[in-house]
Amino acid sequence: MSAATVYDPAGFALPDAQKRFLRWTIYIGYGALVAGIFHGLANALSFANINILPYFPRLRGYYQGLTAHGVANVLVFTFAFSNGFLPLMTARALSRPLVSWLVYATFGALLLGNILVVYAIVTNQASVLFTAYAPLQAHWTFYTGLVLVVVSTWLALGNMLTVLGRWKRDHRGERIPLLAYISVVSYVMWALASLPIAVDFLGLLIPWSLGAFGGLVDPLLTRTLFWFTGHAIVYAWLLPAYVSWYALVPRQAGGVLVSDPLTRVVFILFLLLSIPTGFHHQYTDPGISEQMKAFHGVLTFGVFFPSLATAFSVVAALEIGGRRRGGRGLLGWVVRLPWGDPSLVAQMLAMVVFVFGGITGLINASFTMNQIIHNTTWVPGHFHMTVGTAVALTFVGVAYWMIPYLTGRALWGRRVALASSWLYTIGVLIFARGMISAGLQGMPRRTFQVQAGYRSPEWELGGALTGIGGTIMFIGILLFFVVMGMTLLVGKKGAEPKDIPVTRTITAPSLTGWQPHLDRIGLWVIAAIALVLIAYMPFFLTYAPRFISPGFKLF
Ligand code: HAS
Ligand code: CU
């Protein structure tokens, strides 16, 4: 750790058993990250016309690998990390231990879910990609495993709410500490958002995979339920990263967060607006009225706003840090930021890439422009800069203080860690440039280019950049694993950070006026439900389910 990252202890200590289980919960996530990147490499290279799939023992096809990549990296990695990180943040903010049995249950549900999902994918009975679109049909263990992963997030939230409830009993009239507030609101939003996919999997896909409904399924209904959850899911991945950007990064950069109230407003806006936007993934789907698509489109631009406010807040916090360290002039403060601290650098690079992720997101959200980029490689170009970098690289950066904190071993290989983040960032920018330009030329996503008989010469450059960038990203992440592995094996004992780097804010929360209402999370949940009903009821009230399609197993 660089000299800039000195964490003063606040007298907070979690029981050892809780620390251990949180650690193992998070390890499942990083394990999934490494498991997933191998097919990531194969997929990137396939766009450059290079086929390394034959080198994968036991792999029986492109879609099996692509499913493993998506499920491991966006479903398991993200939620396993958050299941450990958010309860840890809540406990730290409230200076209270967690509920032990809920920590264990969260870990247990996640582990069991993973065993089922891994079984289904490894045995090639679930090559349906992470979106699980029917009528592609997976083995019931795939859907059930994913349900258990979702259950694990509910258990983690249950833990946080219990601890918060106990804290409130002892602190009547006080405002919830910011770090606890934003951690809880993140998972409250997700819990609400996860209900449609629970209905989809438990009510439709699991029974169907076991032979119910005469073996028939309604593709539009299941797709709509998926995206009902599926847009909000991307914010469920993002918000834990925002928790770090708002509440920890300013401190790590030697700065301070500008506004406590603005931060709460941002998270409430995510609670309100993340869910009623799912149709922007279905602009090209038949059977959904144009008016409803337009309504979701407008709300999508609405949910863009709290991210803009976030950009303002995090840049301001970094600027304060840079100026306190002697930075002068318009941009001199950037140079003075602690560029030797691997935890901070990973997260700052994640932010820079997210600017491009955000811009491409706006283009996706624009109804007419979406017609050009939908189902092309533009979309994976977009999401590798959002979930694939803003989120993943932030979680990598957090690991650089959190794993030492949880294991009692100091970080090994600061320079290797820095190299890892820089390589990954350079890699993803080349990769996404390739995917985005080729996507504009119509290169399809989810297609094994090596075997596609309709390759266009226009895709050559974009495909090659995708392959080159993907390879650099792969090396970057491998270095992260070297750092983590060595930290666990030989990291110096006793030199680890003793506390979590929680920031201070310039504007404190107010005890009077409208602000305390922000802490009435239950009321905001009711408002969010109302908005969701307005956005989705017109579809569900007028839609007559059509169980018309048999299941397909094209693998
Ligand atoms: Fe998206 C498709 C629209 C954000 C993930 N998105 C996807 C898919 C994924 C995904 C996985 O409207 C593909 C799903 C599939 O398989 O089909 N997305 C948006 C919009 C935003 C957005 C409007 N997406 C995300 C995030 C994701 C994510 C976040 C994951 C975590 N997306 C869409 C649409 C589609 C879509 C359509 C469907 C496309 C189709 O046709 O299939 C926005 O909310 C983005 C807002 C972000 C910003 C950036 C703010 C910048 C910040 C950093 C500031 C820091 C700085 C650094 C400047 C406004 C906060 C300073 C540093 C120093 C060192 C000084
Ligand atoms: Cu979306």
Secondary structure element (H or E) that encloses residue 310, with its range: helix 290-324
Token duo for residue 368 = 């007419």
* pLDDT number for residue 498: 82
CA distance 152 to 316: 35
Is the pLDDT at 11 greater than 90, yes or no? no
Atom 26, ligand 1: residue with shortest CA distance: 386
* Structural tokens at position 257: 């967060």
160-193: pLDDT as tens digits: 999 999 999 999 999 999 999 999 999 999 999 9
Q: Cβ of 497: how many Cβ atoms within 10 Å?
A: 20
Task: Average the pLDDT over 203-228 and give the result.
Answer: 97
Token reading at 448? 């094994």
Please give the distance of CA 225 from its chain centroid, rounded to a whole number.
20
Nearest ligand for residue 435 CA: 1
* Dihedral over alpha carbons 329, 249, 487, 98 (to 10 degrees): 170
Q: What average pLDDT does the segment 98-103 reach?
A: 98
Which residue's alpha carbon is at the smallest distance from atom 29 of ligand 1?
A: 386
Show the 3-state SS of 114-140. Answer: HHHHHHHHHCCCCCCCCCCCCCECCCH
- Where along the chain do its domains lie? 13-448+455-543
CA-CA distance, 283 to 485, in Å (whole number)?
Answer: 44
Please give the pLDDT value at position 494: 86
Burial class (CB in 10 A: 0-12, 13-18, 19+), 78: buried
Q: Please say if the pLDDT value at position 497 is more than 90.
A: no
Peptide bond into 135 cis (omega under 30): yes
State residue 2's pLDDT score.
Answer: 33
CA 483 centroid distance within chain:
22
Token pair recorded at residue 39: 């097919």
What is the spatial distance between Cα 414 and Cα 408, in angstroms, rounded to a whole number?
A: 17
> How far apart are alpha carbons 110 and 32 in whole angstroms?
12
Atom 9 of ligand 1, nearest CA residue: 383
Q: Is 365 helix (H, G, I), strand (E, B) or coil?
A: helix
Ligand nearest to the CA of 238: 1
In whole angstroms, what is the distance from residue 391 CA to residue 151 CA? 22
* Cα separation values, 360 from 357, 364, 436, 470, Å: 5, 6, 9, 19
Amino acid at 269: L
Radius of gyration of the chain (CA): 23
Residue 6, pLDDT > 70, answer no
Give residue ranges with CB within 6 A of ligand 1: 131, 234, 237-238, 280-281, 300, 303-304, 307-308, 310-311, 314-315, 318, 334, 348, 351-352, 354-355, 358, 361-362, 364-365, 370, 374, 379, 382-383, 386-387, 391
Whether this prediction's pTM lies above 0.85 is answered by: yes
What residues form DSSP beta bridges with 76? none
Query: How close is the Cα of 411 to the center of ligand 1, in Å?
Result: 31
The answer to whether 114 and 151 are in contact (CB under 8 A) is: no
Q: Which of 383, 393, 429, 435 to mutate to test the pocket of ligand 1 (most atoms within 8 A of CB)?
A: 383
> Are 51 and 450 contacting, i.e. CB atoms less than 8 angstroms apart?
yes
Of 35-44, 257-266, 378-387, 507-516, the poorest mean pLDDT is in 507-516
Structure confidence at residue 52 as a pLDDT band (50, 70, 90): very high
Tokens of 276: 């009623």
Q: Write down the architecture of domain 13-448+455-543 according to CATH.
A: Up-down Bundle (1.20)
Which residues are bridge partners to 36 per DSSP? none
Catalytic residues: 231, 235, 382-384, 445-446
Dihedral sign, Cα of residue 288, residue 292, residue 293, residue 299: negative
Give the C-alpha separation, 399 to 346, whole Å: 10
Distance CA 341, CA 206 (A): 46
- Identify the CA nearest to 393 among candidates 431, 353, 429: 353
For a pocket test of ligand 1, which of 277, 344, 364, 371 has the largest count of ligand atoms closer than 8 A to its C-beta? 364
Residues in the chain: 555
Q: Are 205 and 134 within 8 A, CB to CB?
A: yes
**pLDDT number for residue 3:** 32
Distance in Å, CA 359 to ligand 1 centroid: 7
What are residue 193's phi and psi, to 5 degrees? Answer: -65, -25
Q: What token pair was written down for 51?
A: 């086929």
Query: Which of 236, 77, 98 has its CA nearest to residue 180?
Result: 98
Mean pLDDT of 16-35: 96
Task: Note whether 86 and 106 are within 8 A (CB).
Answer: no
Q: Which ligand is nearest to the CA of 369?
A: 1
- C-alpha atoms less than 13 angstroms from C-alpha of 26 in its C-beta half-sphere: 25
φ/ψ of 48, rounded to 5, equals -95, 15
pLDDT class of 10 with cuts at 50, 70, 90: low
Helix (H, G, I), strand (E, B) or coil at 95: coil
Helix 77-94 vs helix 16-47: angle between axes, to the nearest 10 degrees? 150
Mean pLDDT of the chain: 95
> What are residue 136's phi and psi, to 5 degrees?
-60, 135
How far lies 10's CA from each of 18, 344, 422, in Å? 18, 21, 32
